[in-house]
Structure 1
């Protein structure tokens, strides 16, 4: 089933509005086709009034004029109904498409978002979906309108005069052929144009998101050149699309007026020969005049179909994308009894990568224990954090909580039980209270405050003019890096998870504040598993078990004192971090 057919099925969810829109279009079209007949009849009757004396001819003319007025008013009313309900269906379908798009984006895996730029998704969610909405609001209605006008009108014309009727409709095959050619051309152009618009959105999003970096490095000119290049590409394609549409519309309009000229020539000769009345010829010409606007709009309709087809392909490419991380059939909520976390011979390779990120990771953590993870960048530390809440699935081996494979439990229950505090924190443009309570919107005020106290943020918040009702700027720009990290810690503490993972989440916090946070979290997580990933060994010295990772493998494990005694990699890193700066400079 093609994308246009699949999208058209959305209108079936609104049968009342869709039926009214199509029904009103059909009735309005038929009424519009009666106008040429009535007008021709009125002309013949007016001629009779002038040539044939009598009250009957004048009476007939009056009745025809009244009928013409009534038909015109009725057509206007049905056109009003058509426009209202076609727009209504278009907006309802657009609303449902946006919901389907947004719901799908929320459920797509991390690996999908790793591959697809957010700017492309923004373009799809705005421009592409608007193209689909316009297809419903105008494209389908124009199709029905043109089909009725040509179908019923052809029968009316041919039944009146076969030869003249065929001449009047002679432009229709040419228009249909040109429309098909133009649609294929425009569809290809729209496909490339949408990609260029995605690039344009991507450049704009990156520029606005990194505006401080741009200003700090005086990169305004470079960014403007990037934006200009992307805009020029999109503009060139837009011009090509307009050229195709204008050329197509011009050729169709020419064929229409050529057919009208033939009708006028042959019809005029018939009138002169007395084989046709002036009113009948006028009705033919009026009918063609009525068809003039739909024919002119046919170029727009073809463009609408081409755009909708392109947007539909892009939309369903996303909607049909596999959800790599989802609840398995029969998945059950995670039940926490003891809260024991186990990694059992876990291997993992990122999609598209050739080198494994983790190789045979095995360890066990019990409630109340703190596990420290240390290693060089790229050793697999953050990958451990990504696997526990199932941002990605393990390649082989398994991760269990109280013996339950995390792939066999529901994602919602798992992610409420495993909280990951990342170094790159994201804050929403809302109040501090809403940011802290994001994972638990129904959290009571005291629970939020306790979480902030444990994160050493409460006193700072209370010093703000609106305390917890203070609105942070976009991405938390009004807060320092350390404050954003502490707010992120508080957000995780509100959940009271069974497993807490701190992925280098105190890197922007001074040592004194970090010590106070660590002490508070130890009290807070006395019956929970705590995992701390850090580069500073001072953050890990208190851990019950420290794992030293290298190339995705655990090469050393033990407590701080045990690892120092082994005099291995951990000891070398410890000596490096604790040596005085003067000694380091001398060594270099």
Structure 2
């Protein structure tokens, strides 16, 4: 078995409890604040449970004051003051738990975003080749938001509800068993209904998140290809496509709303029936003198306090469901191991030596994937310039991307100084390789920032020198703010040739020991290309240069030329 085989682990589907537990473990990274928030929740619920008893006591005292001439009104005042104090303290604890819950959620989201972004930097190009950018953006924004809300609307609300219902159950049954049972009769029905609805909502949330990813994908493609869309007058087609995706998402949201509204309506009906029964039987017991009006008021106040949290069981389950659904999608990405091993404990690339391809084969992961490269054998010494040509799809760019280890060979070895590239530290290897790719990508920033992207330490003179070798300095000098001129998204304010020259200057400034030009002058005129080629050859004696091109004129300085066809070297 090849010891260098890339590790690949497909995303797995965890159970609901595993996902919730994993999200809870994330919140435990802020356990100090979490336990303070949890304490505030329990204390806040405890003080809220004191309010019905004080209300009932105040009613009895008021009746006694009205019916008895010698009743002391001060007792009623003290009860009112105590009620005000308890309500104020309850509000204080509510503020504490809401603030800390939100703060913990935001910190969780921050850490999750950073882990997610770091993972995207490490995942192999094979992964990125097979997933749409819009899906990744949706995961990094909407799904992380679903996990963020779990602490406040899920975990803390669960303990708040548990304390209120448990405490209410104890006080009401202790005060009057019969009325207590009637008062709490709505709790199990609403709890069951809320749980059942929440489980359905989880499935719907998964589908909604997928549809939102699709919606983001459609918009992303449209905006990136806006020039193509308008050139072919396809605005109506794009509108129809976006409208279809939007309608699919709208139908799912309608279904979500329908389930929640019907659930809330049923809960309200059950609560009102229970309230009516308490008034009916409680009124009879007050009339017969078995209980006081204050006691009945206490029961009604308890029901009033409990009905909202109990009705929120649906929201609670929905919060758990959404967190589990979103967490599942995020953890699928975070748990993937299909990345090129960076071998941090490996050797450092110190000096340039002989670069060898030894019977290299490559195919993309998956069953029945065709061989992209077959039996490649090459030997390149310092000062050598290799030219590679061949028809499209013959594996030229793939061969180039194996050198900085964007991909690893399926079998065979690529060695530098007799050492397999996979035995080097990935960072030091890539510092020695400059790959100028055919697809030019520029950042939305200044010209200078783009030139310096791989070498932020370079001086102003080095920036100008690299731009001059790429035949770009004169053009930059005529821009409104010279090297400080902002270029548009992906450099669209520059011409194709200017973007390619800026891309070349970005690699020249690195002065790497291995320079790979992958069809990087296709948009540059022949005269300018010749000047660039001559400048590049000036320092070619102490490096390995690989030029990939369909133009034979671009390969004129090559010491050796190979012709790739169907992944094989057919001529050399």
| TM-score (structure 2 length as normaliser) | 0.95
Residue number in structure 1 paired with 2:3: none
Q: Any conservation in 2 of the 1:340–1:402 contact (CA below 8 Å)?
A: yes
Residue number in structure 1 paired with 2:361: 347
Residue number in structure 1 paired with 2:8: none
Residue number in structure 1 paired with 2:351: 337
Gaps of 5+ in 2: 1-16
Q: 1:392 aligns with which of 401, 407, 427?
A: 407
Residue number in structure 2 paired with 1:518: 533
Q: Any conservation in 1 of the 2:433–2:513 contact (CA below 8 Å)?
A: yes
2:27 corresponds to 1:11: yes
- State the secondary structure of the residue aligned to 1:526: helix
Distance between the aligned counterparts of 2:420 and 2:20, measured in 1?
Answer: 42
Q: 1:360 aligns with which of 361, 365, 375?
A: 375
List per-residue Cα deviations over 1:367-417 (Å, max 9, x = no partner): 111100011111110111111111111011111122221111222112111
List per-residue Cα deviations over 1:29-48 (Å, max 9, x = no partner): 11111010000011111111
List per-residue Cα deviations over 1:179-204 (Å, max 9, x = no partner): 22112211111111111111110000
Residue number in structure 2 paired with 1:435: 450
How many residues were matched structurally?
A: 555
Higher mean displacement: 133-142 or 457-466: 133-142
Higher mean displacement: 231-240 or 517-526: 517-526
- State the secondary structure of the residue aligned to 2:340: coil
Higher mean displacement: 150-159 or 295-304: 295-304
- State the secondary structure of the residue aligned to 1:465: coil
Q: C-alpha displacement at 1:210, in angstroms? A: 0.4
Residue number in structure 1 paired with 2:492: 477
2:177 corresponds to 1:143: no
List per-residue Cα deviations over 1:411-443 (Å, max 9, x = no partner): 211211111111111100011111111112222
Residues 485-524 of structure 1: pairs in structure 2 closer than 5 A: 485-524=500-539
- State the secondary structure of the residue aligned to 1:539: helix
2:319 corresponds to 1:301: no
- State the secondary structure of the residue aligned to 2:547: strand
Residue number in structure 1 paired with 2:54: 38
Residue number in structure 1 paired with 2:440: 425
Q: C-alpha displacement at 1:296, in angstroms? A: 3.4
Distance between the aligned counterparts of 1:423 and 1:31, measured in 2?
Answer: 68
Q: 2:250 aligns with which of 207, 219, 235?
A: 235
Q: Any conservation in 2 of the 1:131–1:311 contact (CA below 8 Å)?
A: yes
Gaps of 5+ in 1: 558-588
- Structure showing greater relative contact order (alpha-carbon pairs closer than 8 Å, 6 or more residues apart): 2
Residue number in structure 1 paired with 2:69: 53
Residues 98-137 of structure 1: pairs in structure 2 closer than 5 A: 98-137=113-152
Distance between the aligned counterparts of 1:527 and 1:137, measured in 2?
Answer: 61
Q: C-alpha displacement at 1:53, in angstroms? A: 2.7
Residue number in structure 2 paired with 1:279: 294
- State the secondary structure of the residue aligned to 2:528: helix
Q: Any conservation in 1 of the 2:358–2:376 contact (CA below 8 Å)?
A: yes
2:542 corresponds to 1:527: yes
- State the secondary structure of the residue aligned to 1:344: strand
Q: C-alpha displacement at 1:225, in angstroms? A: 0.5
| TM-score (structure 1 length as normaliser) | 0.92
Q: 1:22 aligns with which of 13, 38, 56?
A: 38
Q: Any conservation in 2 of the 1:339–1:529 contact (CA below 8 Å)?
A: no
Residue number in structure 2 paired with 1:462: 477
2:85 corresponds to 1:70: yes
- State the secondary structure of the residue aligned to 1:376: coil
Residue number in structure 1 paired with 2:230: 215
Q: Any conservation in 1 of the 2:345–2:425 contact (CA below 8 Å)?
A: no
Q: Any conservation in 1 of the 2:352–2:513 contact (CA below 8 Å)?
A: no
